[in-house]
Amino acid sequence: MASGKAVDAVYNIKPPPAATKLRELYYQAHFIHSHAAHFYALAAPDFVVGPDAPAAERNILGLIGKVGLEVGKEVIRQRAISQDIQIIIGGRATHPVWNLPGGVAKALTKEEREKVRPMVVEQLGFAEFGLKLFADVVMGNKAYVDLIIGDGYELVTNYMGLVDDQNKVNFFDGKVRVVDTEGNELFKYTEPEYMEYIAEHVEPYTYLKFPYLKKMGWDGFKEGKGTSIYQAAPLARLNAAEGMATPKAQAEFEKMYETLGGKPSHKLLAAHWARLIEIVYSAERMIELVEDDEILDPNVRVMPSTTPSEGVGIIEAPRGTLTHHYWTDENGIVTKANLIVGTTNNNAPISMAVKKAAQTFIKKGGEVTDGLLNMVEMAFRLFDPCFSCATHSLPGQMPLTVEIKNKDGETIETVSR
Amino acid sequence: MKLKVGIYWGAACGGCDVAILDTHEKLLDIAAKMDIYLWPIALDFKYDDVKKMEDGYLDAAIYSGAIRNSENEEIAILLRKKSKVMIALGACAHLGGIPGLANFYTRDEMLKRIYIDSESTINEEGVIPLESWNVKEGELDLPRFYNTVKTLDQVVDVEYYIPGCPPVPLQIYSALSLIWDDMLPPVGSVIGAGDKALCESCPRVKEEKTISEFKRIQQVLPDPEKCFLEQGLVCLGAATRSGCGARCIKSGVPCRGCYGPLDDVPDLGIKMLSAIASVLEPKEEKEIDDVLDTIVDPLRTFHRFSMPASILRRKKE
Ligand code: SF4
Ligand code: SF4
Ligand code: SF4
């Protein structure tokens, strides 16, 4: 979707309203699939099965064992609905090639809309189920609440997210808003302006770069007031906005910040809560889009009339602000590209969060169990379960090796994944 | 007895793993038939668990992604040793895929572009990531970033290929069921796909029209019923294996060839050129050349998913 917007900009064209709405409808369904996979398959096992459960059970199958097959089946069925909505609109759920410069390749038919209509309503029910599960299983358990509001998973940084003109969270369009550690707006930028605000730093020990706020300069891995480090992704998006554009998501937004003790919240594990609120927003927004009659307009493409040259497209990817910048020749063949992808934004915060969790949970003289190491990994997993998106053609693997050293610098234990 | 399986990704986008998840309710079926011993995206097991296995312990290893660095290759070799059957899942493992387009550049060009020249990067000291770096706590290692992206079967023996970017989920399921039903075809086969060209199952109408110019999809509003190629849009259906259900074509865009070439076709690009020649209006060599010249960036168009597997493999240095 970011590349779709970038090629619109390359050709200097604006897609017809129906095309923009179809892209957004597709994208909201994509968000639900991605967030549902992240939460239910990759994060929930830590909570529902338990952070220090045996590794062989701490997964989606263990989760099903715990919550019951019926719930497991329902999650699978709902994720299938999100994927099917994308297939109905754009032909495929991964790599939607129907997205073209100036619009989309296929309009939505009346029959297709009727098919999608009940599906989006079901998705809202599923979204609300997620919040209930979180309230019961996570917030209803004092040990987990302590984990969420404790110091082990706290990081004080700036926050970034795309917002509409009311400063409400928007995944698809608007301006990028950045707030400081206290929630004050630092700046807002449009797509072509990104390079004035964001810069990337290189370290020799990783293929992944470290983006930071350019005006403040790279000042290392420091948290707290005045830092140039920012976070993107669910909690950051909510921190960077003033609210949600749909009613149910807004109500839960208020509840979350009340529980966490104010906004912005630096409690990293609350990202999972924010993720579930975003699912509600996506579902509510899908209903609005499906009910909008303009979505059936057969006019879904504008033909380019200018010579293509350069363009930037920005959206919110599930795991953070996604920027695509292309330069092309006169045939529209890309000659150069610059991408800052979702998780890359969070590279410095992830490194700092993992370090902090390790320092909090691994105690001098205490036994270093697999469960403790998993609690360190949870600091990573709350940002991104896979990491392949952030490294592109570069190595897509992020092996986590924890070396535990004693005070003399001798390695006493090494655990790697 | 349940099958023992490992699932892994090399230089991949994760879409192939998502395609496995997209078997939806059949996932429970898969879980009933297979014990999964490694699956980095979904399960919490570690490389060490695999290293401790006896050779040939796993019934199958399913590998998505191309080979772009030393870690991708090391794990491919490890899984090969530990598995009776090695399966390449998706266009990247099968043919090199989208990461294989990096073979139009050299390693040094890429590292310089990404870490030094990129417009948003500030790197006055010209730092480029190193394979080994000493910090006070010890040495940090990075996998070696290769000059040339390879297919899985260019580094280990592969028994079966499930094509597609990503493969259609139900095709993954039917390919896996061949393992537990003990119905695997001869070694080297493509499974979970058809054996005819996509054109044969394409719903678009062909009229044996000839064309005198090629256009790109952003320049025309194609007729939704008629063959793309006959409308002057490059569509790789004639040289591409069927099995995807023509999903791109049904959503209004030509085939880009992700299911790869048919059996006994070593090079999709060469096969495609002959298919294109058959729809050209001019028959004189010079005029044919003029029409072919209207195809913008033919090499990357024909080898979008298959550069490393093509006879060219990479751009000459
Ligand atoms: S084949 Fe396609 S979907 Fe699969 S990993 Fe490669 S790029 Fe991703
Ligand atoms: S060339 Fe493309 S559009 Fe034409 S019949 Fe073949 S697959 Fe269909
Ligand atoms: S139509 Fe072509 S590019 Fe699209 S999925 Fe099928 S084989 Fe792949």
Do you find a cis peptide bond into B166, omega within 30 degrees of 0? yes
Contact assignment for B251 to A91 by CB distance below 8 Å? yes
Nearest CA among B290, B38, B149 for reference residue A56: B38
Q: Give residue A407's pLDDT.
A: 60
Distance between A273 CA and the closest CA of chain B, angstroms: 20
Contact assignment for A37 to B138 by CB distance below 8 Å? no
The single-letter code of the amino acid at B256 is: R
Contact assignment for A395 to B218 by CB distance below 8 Å? no
Distance between B252 CA and the closest CA of chain A, angstroms: 5
Nearest CA in chain A to B105: A393
Enumerate the residues of chain A whose CB falls inside 8 A of the CB of residue B19. 94
Per-residue pLDDT of chain B (317 residues; tens, 9 = 90+): 899 999 999 999 999 999 999 999 999 899 899 999 988 877 766 778 899 999 999 999 999 999 999 999 999 999 999 999 999 999 999 999 999 999 999 999 999 999 999 999 999 999 999 998 888 878 888 999 999 999 999 999 999 999 999 999 999 999 999 999 999 999 999 999 999 999 999 999 999 888 889 999 999 999 999 999 999 999 999 999 999 999 999 999 999 999 999 998 878 888 898 888 888 888 888 988 899 999 999 999 999 999 999 988 998 87
Q: Give residue A405's pLDDT.
A: 61
Enumerate the residues of chain B whose CB falls inside 8 A of the CB of residue A100. 217-218, 253
Q: What is the pLDDT of residues B99-138, one digit of tens each?
A: 999 999 999 999 999 999 999 999 999 999 999 888 887 8
Structure tokens at B268: 């999709």
- Three-state secondary structure call for residue A317: strand
CA A261 to the chain's CA centroid:
23
What pTM, to 2 d.p., does this model score? 0.94
ipTM of this complex prediction, to 2 decimal places: 0.95
Structure tokens at B220: 């025309």
Closest ligand 1 atom to residue B90 Cα is: 1
Q: Which residues lie closer than 8 Å to A366 by C-beta, 6 or more apart?
A: none
Contact assignment for A395 to B69 by CB distance below 8 Å? yes
Whether A59 and B43 have beta carbons less than 8 Å apart is answered as: yes
Per-residue pLDDT of chain A (417 residues; tens, 9 = 90+): 999 999 999 999 999 999 999 999 999 999 999 999 888 887 787 887 777 777 777 777 777 777 788 888 999 999 999 999 999 999 999 999 999 999 999 999 999 999 999 999 999 999 999 999 999 988 998 988 998 998 889 999 999 999 999 999 999 999 999 999 999 999 999 999 999 999 999 999 999 999 999 999 999 999 999 999 999 989 999 999 999 999 999 999 999 999 999 999 999 999 999 999 999 999 999 999 999 999 999 999 999 999 999 999 999 999 999 999 999 999 999 999 999 999 999 999 999 998 888 888 887 777 777 777 778 878 887 887 665 444 333 323 344 555 666 666 666 666 554
Distance between B230 CA and the closest CA of chain A, angstroms: 18
What Cα–Cα distance (Å) separates residue B1 from each residue in A57, A405, B4, B153?
20, 43, 9, 29
Q: Give residue A41's pLDDT.
A: 81
Shortest-distance Cα residue to atom 5 of ligand 1: B12
Shortest CB distance from B12 goes to which of A90, A396, A399?
A: A396
Q: Is the CB of B227 under 6 A from ligand 2?
A: yes
The count of residues in chain A is 417
Q: Is the CB of B166 under 6 A from ligand 1?
A: yes
Largest CA distance in chain B: 71
Structure tokens at A328: 């092309």
- Give the number of other CB atoms < 10 A from CB of residue B252: 22
- Give the number of other CB atoms < 10 A from CB of residue A297: 16
Q: Is the CB of B12 under 6 A from ligand 1?
A: yes
CB-based burial label for B285 (10 Å; 0-12, 13-18, 19+): exposed
Q: Which residues lie closer than 8 Å to B164 by C-beta, 6 or more apart?
A: B19, B90, B91, B171, B192, B193, B243, B244, B258, B259
> What structural domains does chain B harbor?
3-99+147-180 (3.40.50.700), 106-145 (no CATH), 198-298 (no CATH)
